[in-house]
Chain A
Amino acid sequence: GDSVTQMEGPVTLSEEAFLTINCTYTATGYPSLFWYVQYPGEGLQLLLKATKADDKGSNKGFEATYRKETTSFHLEKGSVQVSDSAVYFCALSKGAGFQKLVFGTGTRLLVSP
């Protein structure tokens, strides 16, 4: 079946460091890919998405490019802030009809001043 694999956390960085969180997927067909963020004590929020190969999703300084050849959708940010500390989930969905998301296990990011 379809699955999403994320790097283990926590990822610990200093403020202004470069961030990469790796995400790879296994799916037949052409899934849409997502990054969701969960701040402490809150529900998940959509951070960015890409719906076809070579698309780049971006939001709040975060970027991810849909790479079909490597089945990857790595999340990057050039300069992280303390306020970016959260858990990040990679997810996929398939089909043109009803959306059902398949989530990775999540990666916790801790940014220190």
Chain B
Amino acid sequence: NAGVTQTPKFQVLKTGQSMTLQCAQDMNHNSMYWYRQDPGMGLRLIYYSASEGTTDKGEVPNGYNVSRLNKREFSLRLESAAPSQTSVYFCASLYRAPQDTQYFGPGTRLTVL
């Protein structure tokens, strides 16, 4: 099992460019999440998908869109990147039983110039 994988690992964008961050999990988990990590702020939830076909906003959704393509894949799209979106982005999936545990990917470091 690869667990949770994310691509790309690093990306540099110019203001106004668009891009999609990819996330996939091979653990057959129903629920998936996107977080951003900023210095001194911990991780903040951007969007989540409780199950295939559903998505919901988290704490900081502005400027982002998501797609739950199928049970395995959950992508995050920046339509018009801004410097404030410079961050490290983590995808996670949730293992429900016997106790809820989130498994995280290795992250994507995004810089917007």
Contact = CB atoms under 8 A, between A and B. Distances in A.
B4 interface: yes
A78 B107 CA distance: 31
B43 interface: yes
A81 interface: no
A59 to B, nearest CB: 12
Interface residues of A, number: 20
Interface stretch (B14-22, B79-87, B94-102): B94-102
Contact of B58 (A4, A43, A100, A105): A100
Given A98-B50, A103-B42, A42 B58 contact: no
A41 B106 CA distance: 7
Contacts of B40: 105
Contacts of A104: 42
